[in-house]
Structure 1
Amino acid sequence: MSQESLDDLRYELELKNAEIDELNMDLQEKIEEINKLKLYSTKLKYEKKNLEDKLDTKIDYDKARIKELDDLSEKIKEKELIIEDKQDQVKYLRSLIDDYKEQLNKNTENLEVQLRKITKTYEDLLKQKDAIIQKQDEEISNLIKSKEEIIKSNKTNIISLKLQNEKYQEIIDKFTKTN
């Protein structure tokens, strides 16, 4: 193999390494964005808890809180769509990596060793990303379950309050009739 050919291969390897570094940076940005979504999901969970506490003290806020819970559900659906979009982007990045693997396999054995190292590192990052996405999906599922429990609890409280109002109305009616 000539020195010029070897230099060309080294230059091509440097270009591929730069492209892989760029993809790694893109993936890191996606992971950070997923972490932000996770934090936002936790924030929404605490907001929902605060709404439950308000339910115990103020009946007049029931309708407003149910509306807020519906909005929260919509936000969760939007976040799920964002996560699905991020998963599609990751799949695209994986397909790019596979293409680069095929191109690099045509080069020397030394280039193949370096490619394996790069691929191993990238697959570890993808596994970390998948674990983050799985945790996010579980948290979203838990939020949805929690929302449903709150709605059930709200309905039960409303029914209980209606029954109490009816009892109080009967007592008031009895007092007004006797007086």
Structure 2
Amino acid sequence: MSEKSLKDLEYELELKNAEIDELNMVLDSKKEEINKLKLYSTKLKYQNKNLEDKLDTKIDYDKAMIKELDDLSEKIKEKENIIEDKQDQVKYLRSLIDDYKGQLNANTENLDMQLKKITKNYEDLLKQKDSIIEKQDVQIANLIKSNEEITKSNKTNIISLKLQNEKYQEIIEKLTKTN
């Protein structure tokens, strides 16, 4: 081989070595970037898990509240059905009174008395229905108030935890500086 081609090969080898060094630096940079991304991914997974746990807790609480409201709604429906039945009874008795009024003058007072009792029961049932509705409104208001208090409490706890975290960070920094 000629001296010129040997020099060319040495030059080319040096260029290749420089390229390899440059690629190694890029590779090291990419490794650092991958490590940072892995750390960030781990942090996001942890945050996601915390959020999922909080969401599950909130969902369980909301499900319990919805079940309670459903139970109250079911009771109201039952009372409404009773009221409807009583209304049908009242209508039926009124029609009986209209049909037999002329023929049964002797029984008119008795039927009027029965009608008054049913009407009183109907009014009592209406009062019970109104009472149940008022209780449900109070419970709903209490649930809303409770939810707002829990939200405020959670915010306060978060702020408190952040302040504690900052204090602990300061203590750690002081301890690491003194050591």
Same fold per superposition (TM over 0.5): yes
- C-alpha spacing 1:87/1:123, structure 2 compared with 1 (3 Å): closer
Give the match for residue 129 of structure 1: 125
- One-letter identity of the residue aligned with 1:82: E
Give the match for residue 120 of structure 1: 116
Give the match for residue 145 of structure 1: 141
Matched-pair identity in %: 8
Deviation of residue 67 (structure 1)?
4.1
- RMSD of equivalent CA atoms: 2.4
Task: Confirm or deny: 8 A CA contact 1:83 1:133 kept in the other structure.
Answer: yes
Task: Confirm or deny: 8 A CA contact 1:104 1:111 kept in the other structure.
Answer: no
Give TM-score scaled by structure 1 length: 0.58
Q: Distance in 1 between matches of 2:110 and 2:74?
A: 40
Point out where structure 2 has 5 or more consecutive residues left out of the alignment. 1-56
Give the match for residue 169 of structure 2: 173
Q: Distance in 2 between matches of 1:80 and 1:129?
A: 11
Point out where structure 1 has 5 or more consecutive residues left out of the alignment. 1-61
- One-letter identity of the residue aligned with 2:110: Q
Task: Map 1:16-95; keep pairs closer than 5 Å.
Answer: 63=58, 64-95=60-91
Give TM-score scaled by structure 2 length: 0.58
- C-alpha spacing 1:70/1:169, structure 2 compared with 1 (3 Å): farther
Deviation of residue 164 (structure 1)?
0.6
Report the more deviating stretch, 140-149 or 63-72: 63-72
Indicate the SS of the match to 2:106. Answer: helix
User: 1:19-73 CA distances to partner (integer Å, 9 max, x unpaired)?
Assistant: xxxxxxxxxxxxxxxxxxxxxxxxxxxxxxxxxxxxxxxxxxx745454333323
Deviation of residue 175 (structure 1)?
1.1
Give the match for residue 102 of structure 1: 98
Give the match for residue 155 of structure 2: 159
Find runs of 4+ consecutive structure 1 residues off by over 6 angstroms.
Answer: none
- C-alpha spacing 1:67/1:176, structure 2 compared with 1 (3 Å): farther
Task: Confirm or deny: 8 A CA contact 1:66 1:151 kept in the other structure.
Answer: no
